[in-house]
Structure 1
């Protein structure tokens, strides 16, 4: 059974690694092209005969790269010794297992297909009876070592000579290879060095030193490639996000157009269709551009991976002499690293929107917004103790009916306003003692933090249940600093005192605690089960997964100076928006980051002590700003 298993394994290895890609048979006299792919010499000869009239170069059938044919023909291409030895050893093991081919070996000197009866150890060729006679008649071969079929070592001889000790010189067969000429990029023996590689222009090095230097150079280049791999991942992720954000914005823009169309359906049906098509066309054009860049990056990376995989195989499997023999080709192939650059996403191209307007006569229904800009749309909240007036707004959330819920930490109340700023109602007293942070579930329930509790309010703003965010014995060690809820209605609560985020089901039951020493600010739900939170004192924006693995930890800066982050929220594409306080510029602003924590730009400048941030269902940004609430829209 073990022998059968070994035979099966050998067969698999042969098919996967020892067969020529052209003839699908085991390599025979394998040659290496400039691209480092290996093929049988016979297969290459047949291939180049079909590629006439360009007989001075040959195209690799695997990667289509071109290799110049040496002056001596394809026979002058480098031999792949490690593959030849591996095939020989493989054949030997098959013979030992009784699975070797039953056909007798044929002569390698003639084309008559006669059975080989001897092997010349100096020529490394199997020869028949006729060729043996000719071999012995030639003066230059008279002293070659011949092993006959009757010799007990014939089976070993058929496997091929094993490389023992130093490699012999190609020109001086009795001399060991001991040097490598850096000038000529070739191995040499002492005789070669004295005759062909002498003089100040030739830099001869001992083989050990040359291979050590070669391995070090290759290692450094491969290490640089690893850096390129990481850059590719960042670029690819940014392009994927930009494309996804573009699709979301295109969909939202089309929805905005449709809404305007429905308002003035009798006048604008045809023009709205034209504008949607325009938005879609721009979106498709930009998406194609993103796709082209992404495909180009991936193609570069795929080609680089192929070269690296081939070089790694060669570096692991080839012996030192062969590595040095192939050094020019290896280093030539590794030159791709110098040009391995990946194009990043042009974030501005991932935004598209519309600016709708009233239609009069032949006026267009709106215009396509191809750049993202913001302006103040609505501001509300007079200062005063009366109902409907604000003293210190903190948390904001948009209800499913479009109303805006605002917590006032001076009045200890929750107030509700319409989207245009008209006061509706407030909640306080017995239901809410100290409301601070708010969030809304996908089903329209309002979540409010009230000291160490989260209270759940229905559409009529009545408390229907509550749950604690910390154990009873931790009440004096708790400081809730933010709350958020994801699309699966999982609730996350930040506790800056206990340095953790607690994750709960909608009924309040605990899913898990996520400890993190950097928890010291507001909290938001990002894409792919990520939590984004701020650290005011350290000027940090941090992102972790639901299992506590850190995704990024970045400094919040403005012109190289640290700014203190407070409120944080995410839009429907996963982009991050943070309100920051800059002592240098004496101003609060809202900064825009990608889902991977890359700073994109500034918006909503000139604010005052802002904390709460959220988005309306139509994509407008709502900011709780000291004594008022401001709503910003894209223009």
Structure 2
């Protein structure tokens, strides 16, 4: 049973790691290409023979990278000694298990199926008598070490060990062992090579042990960089995913905006068309009425004329001469109407009416595509003072899901609540209830609308109406009193709260119930902190003019020095978006010229969000994605255009 299990393991190793990707059989004389992929020499020769070009290159069938073949001879490629050793080890173990493979006693260098009489330690392959003679004749194999098969069978030393125990010989000085490595030429050399061809100052060679030690250290260093890059790629993947989701969201919103604008413009055009049509109808009715009056007038005139003419004609036929002369005055009076007949003209010009329409759509574009993020000031509220809705030092700010804004004033030691439009609602201050507030500093809101407030040594929690819920103390002061807790910055994600303790120079991460998750000592600790969706903490140091990012183990990710107009600026409030991008409030050395900048998740500057702020401190996002800034004596809300 044990032998069967061992054989199964050997078969799996062979199938998974020791089979040529071309022939899918166990490697025979494997050669390694520049891309580090290995193939049987025979498979490479067959593949190269089918190439149409005569170029001394071969393309890897796995990764398609090209490898230069010296003089077009594949035999000169580097042998994959590691694979050769593994194949021999598997063969050896299979022999020990009593299951010799039918190919183990045959020659590996030809297709004749001759019995192997010896073994080449350089090729790590069994060879027949004819191949042995060819080995000793060919230029590239005449220096290979060959031992009889009987000697190998009697030895209990594994082939891998045997190959390592014999120092390789120099191909130019066959009696000399390779003992140096020339770093300038990247080749192994013997002492004779070192004394002749590699003796000049431009050849830097070292002992093989020192060379391999240095090589391993270099490889380890590069592999560590690969690992760091891998972690960076993993982190960036989250940022890209968030940014992609934001793109889809913005695309959908842009489509809705375009449709809404089009509908609004269409409605305006239809309204204008309606008013113009009404004007046309009004003018048409006025003109048609005049035509109607003219027709009626002319018809009345003709009707009376017809009546007079009919009456006179009847009288002239029926009356005698005496009656006619007697009625002459009346007849002539009626006939006088002929002089009064006046026909209203047709007034053809009045019949014209037309419309000269303007090209409303093509003259002006429906809108402009904005490919870079732009912001504008949406709302400002508050002013300097001590009353309700007034500020002495507006500092921390946070937004509830309904849009209401919570804000601290560190000078008045007050926590206030405002509507989304800036209308004052309520506030609590020091002295109203000693259990509730002492000196509120920064604030943050959970997804469940719980307001967390840093209050000296404690974190206090309130509801949406500023009613006290609970509190917890993150740390205890040192017994000697050398390091007192002074909680400043606070940030929240779905499950955690990060606290910046400026007094103890510590960033601590807690569960939402206050239980400690981790503590990290930070020398350059400031006043404001944010938590990124990429699993990082970003904080600012006003004194050191730095924007820093660390992971939850305290390892620094980046350290950026923000600039305003090319000059160093002092960062205060910091905010992280869903895609990991960072927003920072920056102070110049002049009040009224502060700014808010946008950085990507790796600390690279993206854009300026706002300029001309007085003294910005805390910042927060509204549910709609607007940025709220506590600007000392006021609160400013900026929206994306």
1:95-244 aligned within 5 A = 95-102=95-102, 105-106=105-106, 112-116=112-116, 118-119=117-118, 126-127=127-128, 162-163=162-163, 165-168=166-169, 209=207, 212=210, 216=214, 220=218, 223=221, 227=225, 230=228, 234=232, 237-238=235-236, 241-242=239-240, 244=242
Q: Report what 2:492 is aligned to.
A: 485
- CA shift in 2, pair 1:366/1:616, >3 Å: farther
Residues 555 and 562 in structure 1, CA contact (< 8 A), matched pair in contact too: no
Q: Shift of the alpha carbon at 1:625?
A: 1.2
| Uncovered stretches (5+) of structure 1, i.e. residues with no partner | 139-143, 272-359
Residues 444-483 of structure 1 mapped to structure 2, 5 A cutoff: 444-450=449-455, 452-459=457-464, 461-470=465-474, 477-483=484-490
C-alpha displacement of 1:370: 1.0
Shift of 1:486: 2.1
The one of 612, 628, 635 equivalent to 2:634 is: 628
Contact 1:126 1:158 in 2 (8 A): no
- 8 Å Cα contact 1:521/1:535 also seen in 2: yes
Q: Indicate how the Cα distance of structure 1 residues 269 and 67 shifts in structure 2: closer, same or farther if over 3 A, else same.
A: farther
Aligned residues: 528
Contact 1:147 1:154 in 2 (8 A): no
Matches within 5 A, 1:381-396: 381-396=382-397
| 1:616 aligned residue | 622
1:42 aligns with 2:34: no
Closer/same/farther in 2, CA of residues 211 and 377 from structure 1, 3 Å limit: same
Q: What TM-score do the two structures reach when normalised by structure 1?
A: 0.66
Name the CA shift for 1:562/1:2 in 2 (closer, same or farther; >3 Å).
Answer: farther
Mapping 1:516-527, distance limit 5 Å: 516-518=521-523, 519-527=525-533
Q: Partner of 2:66 in structure 1? A: 66
Cα distance, 1:248 vs. partner? 1.5
C-alpha contact 1:564 1:580 (8 A) present in aligned 2:
yes
How far off its partner does 1:72 sit? 6.7
Mapped to 2, the partners of 1:260 and 1:75 lie a distance apart of 67
1:481 Cα deviation after fit: 1.4
TM-superposed CA distance for 1:251, in Å, is: 0.9
Within-5 A mapping of 1:486-501: 486-488=493-495, 490-501=496-507
For the residue of structure 1 that corresponds to 2:369, the secondary structure is strand
Return closer, same or farther for 1:631/1:593 CA change in 2, 3 Å cut-off. Answer: same
SS in 2 for 1:611: coil
Q: Is the 8 A contact 2:110 2:131 kept in 1?
A: no
Structure 2 residues without counterparts, runs of 5 or longer: 138-143, 269-359
For residues 199 and 501 of structure 1, what CA distance do their matches in structure 2 show?
58
CA deviation map 1:322-349 (0-9, x unaligned): xxxxxxxxxxxxxxxxxxxxxxxxxxxx
- What TM-score, normalized to structure 2? 0.65
Q: Equivalents in 1 of 2:638, 2:146: separation in Å?
A: 92
Please give the alpha-carbon distance, in whole angstroms, between the structure 2 residues aligned to 1:132 and 1:442. Answer: 78
Distance apart, 1:30 and its partner CA? 2.9
Q: State whether structure 2 residue 534 is matched by structure 1 residue 536.
A: no
Query: The residue matched to 1:48 in structure 2 has which SS?
Result: helix
Counterpart mapping for 1:507-586 below 5 A: 508-512=513-517, 514-518=519-523, 519-545=525-551, 548-552=553-557, 554-558=559-563, 563-583=569-589
SS in 2 for 1:368: coil
CA RMSD in angstroms comes to: 5.0
Residue 394 of structure 1 deviates from its aligned partner by 2.0
Distance in 2 of aligned mates of 1:193 and 1:531: 56
Following superposition, the deviation at residue 555 of structure 1 comes to: 4.8
Answer yes or no: is the 8 Å Cα contact 1:182–1:202 preserved in 2: no
1:152–1:50 CA distance, 2 compared to 1 (3 A): closer
In the other structure, the counterpart of 1:398 is 399
Distance between the aligned counterparts of 1:56 and 1:589, measured in 2?
62
State the 1:442 CA deviation.
1.9
Structure 1 counterpart SS, 2:368? strand
Find the counterpart in structure 2 of residue 23 from structure 1. 23
| Residues 271-292 of structure 1: per-residue CA shift (max 9 Å, x gap) | 9xxxxxxxxxxxxxxxxxxxxx
Matched, 1:588 2:594: yes
Superposed CA offset, 1:133-190 (max 9, x none): 999xx9xxxxx999989x6876669998955544345577666567889998777779
Secondary structure of 2:46's aligned partner: helix
Q: 1:466 to 1:47 in 2, by over 3 A?
A: same
CA distance in 2, matches of 1:188, 1:473: 66
Measure the CA separation in 2 of the matches of 1:529 and 1:146: 60
How many angstroms apart in 2 are the aligned matches of 1:120 and 1:437?
Answer: 78
The answer to whether the aligner puts 1:245 opposite 2:250 as a matched pair is no
Deviates more, 1:86-95 or 1:470-479: 470-479
SS in 2 for 1:22: coil
CA contact (8 A) 1:478 1:495 kept: yes
- Change in CA separation of 1:361 and 1:412 when aligned onto 2, cut-off 3 Å: farther
- C-alpha distance after superposition, 1:171-230 (max 9, x if no partner): 776665678899987777799999xx8799999998x64785587468547745754764
CA–CA distance in 1 between the matches of 2:610 and 2:506? 30
Give the drift of 1:104.
7.1
Aligned partner of 1:254 in structure 2 is 252
Partner residue of 1:14? 14
- Return the alpha-carbon distance in structure 2 between the equivalents of residues 399 and 134 of structure 1: 88
1:267 aligns to 2:264 (yes or no): yes
The structure having more radius of gyration, on CA atoms, is: 2
